[in-house]
């Protein structure tokens, strides 16, 4: 079985290749891809060759919705026609898997997929639910911080995760403030009704004081810039919380000033990835539009235009947040 897939042959390069899928086994399902979505932070790091575990050539991506076409004799709980979420796939040859979501068809163990529906989903549902994992990172972060009504939270980064986290914080009755260097992202945050400030603003400390005079309750880092994080730690109240959720690849520059954390007796938390319960919670928020994914999708491409989407990711031009690919004409 041959399937077209996006492949990174080397750092900062991308192409479409035909991969030979492995033969399905008793516990496998064959899944036809309907939509896949780029995780802009992680996949850009993979493309640059800086993500932990990055190898070339590789096939990237971990956000995909598909329809089950075949089921092995030992598959449980799934049937042909079911709509599922999952990126797993096995193929032959030299191309390594960096999850491999951007492929037209997949063969993998059924336990790697999350059931969504036994009936067809609308285009809107398929596109928005496709971002379940990256949105789920924000969901998990807000839950780990135990955000409550009336609290203040500073979120470093108005990218996809930061915007999802901020929307959920508002829903829970908290007051978020995004810290973002990119003016385009700050303007986009404003279109969602979210407040933001640049870390390069000369009045940053004053803005923090005005936002929460007694100190913010929590600081949520989605970026990993030590200078910015250290500067904002000083705005957190005594015995507040810090969540470190960025990609901390540069060991020389990502170290934080632990003394500033210690003297404030801050609780430091971390999260990595999402589990199935995180996904289910996030799917509920997306379906109820508590997290407005539709507004965050800036680009849509058909499968034959998939490389245009990665060009947008690579150059970061034009402005982009959510990039989704439609692999099936029925979508």
Distance CA 158, CA 164 (A): 9
Quote the longest CA-to-CA distance of the chain: 64
pLDDT exceeds cutoff 90 at 122: yes
Residues 207 and 99 in one domain: no
- Model confidence pLDDT, tens digit, residues 21-50: 999 999 999 999 999 999 998 999 999 998
Q: Alpha helices of the chain — where are they, by DSSP H? A: 40-48, 123-129, 132-144, 160-171, 183-191, 204-211, 226-233, 258-263, 276-287, 306-315
Give the pLDDT confidence score for residue 278 in this predicted structure: 95
* 154 domain residue, yes or no: yes
Looking at the structure, tell me whether residues 241 and 312 fall in a common domain: no
Shared domain for 143 and 254, answered yes or no, is yes
Model pLDDT, residue 251: 64
Cis peptide before 57 (omega within 30 of 0): yes
Structure confidence at residue 289 as a pLDDT band (50, 70, 90): very high
Same domain, 242 and 144: yes
pLDDT of amino acid 51: 87
Residues 137, 155: Cα–Cα separation, whole Å? 13
Q: 214 lies in which domain range?
A: 134-270
The per-type count for the chain, helices as H runs and strands as E runs, is 10, 17
Residue 141 DSSP code: H
Residue 283 lies in a domain: no
What distance in Å separates the CA atoms of residue 142 and residue 153, rounded to the nearest whole number?
Answer: 10
Answer whether residue 159 shows pLDDT above 90: yes
Would you state the pLDDT for residue 248? Answer: 77
**Ranges of H-type helices in 80-131:** 123-129
Give the CATH number of the domain where residue 152 resides: 3.40.50.720
Element (H, E) at 81: none
CB atoms near residue 153 (< 10 Å): 27
Q: What is the mean pLDDT of residues 131-142?
A: 98
Would you say residue 61 lies in a domain? Answer: yes
pTM for the predicted model, two decimal places = 0.95
Same domain, 246 and 315: no
The pLDDT of 151-159, averaged and rounded, is 98
Structural domains in the chain (count): 2
- How do 267-270 and 2-7 pair as beta strands? unpaired
Per the CB < 8 A criterion, the answer to whether 218 and 243 are in contact is yes
- Helices 183-191 and 160-171, interaxial angle, to 10°? 30
In a domain? residue 198? yes
Task: Please determine, for residue 113, whether its predicted confidence score (pLDDT) is greater than 90.
Answer: yes
For the cut 80, the answer to whether the pLDDT of residue 252 exceeds it is: no
């Amino acid at each position: 079985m041959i399937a077209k897939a996006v492949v990174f042959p080397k750092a900062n390069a991308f192409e479409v290749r035909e991969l030979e899928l492995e033969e399905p086994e008793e516990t496998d399902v064959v899944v036809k891809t309907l939509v896949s979505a780029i995780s802009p932070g992680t996949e850009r790091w993979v493309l640059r060759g800086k993500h932990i575990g990055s190898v070339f050539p590789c096939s990237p991506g971990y956000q995909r919705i598909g329809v089950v076409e075949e089921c092995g004799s030992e598959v449980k709980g799934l049937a042909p026609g079911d709509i599922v979420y999952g990126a797993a796939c096995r193929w032959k040859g030299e191309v390594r898997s960096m999850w491999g979501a951007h492929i037209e068809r997949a063969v993998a163990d059924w336990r790697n997929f999350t059931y969504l529906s036994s009936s067809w989903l609308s285009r809107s549902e398929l596109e928005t639910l496709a971002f379940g994992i990256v949105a789920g990172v924000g969901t998990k972060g807000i839950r780990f911080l135990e955000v409550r009504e009336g609290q203040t939270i500073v979120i470093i980064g108005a990218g996809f995760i930061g915007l999802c986290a901020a929307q959920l914080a508002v829903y829970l009755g908290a007051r978020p403030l995004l810290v973002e260097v990119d003016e385009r992202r700050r303007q986009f945050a404003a279109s969602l009704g979210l407040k933001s400030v640049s870390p390069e603003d000369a009045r940053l400390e004053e803005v923090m004081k005005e936002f929460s005079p007694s100190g913010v309750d929590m600081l949520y880092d989605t970026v990993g810039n030590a200078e910015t994080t250290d500067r904002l730690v000083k705005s957190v109240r005594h015995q507040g919380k810090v969540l470190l959720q960025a990609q901390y690849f540069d060991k020389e520059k990502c170290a934080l000033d632990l003394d500033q954390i210690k003297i404030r007796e801050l609780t430091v938390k971390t999260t990595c990835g999402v589990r199935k319960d995180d996904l289910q919670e996030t799917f509920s928020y997306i379906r109820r539009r508590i997290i407005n994914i539709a507004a965050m999708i800036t680009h849509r491409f058909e499968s034959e235009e998939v490389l245009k989407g990665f060009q947008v990711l690579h150059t970061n031009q034009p402005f982009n947040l959510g990039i989704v690919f439609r692999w099936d004409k029925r979508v």
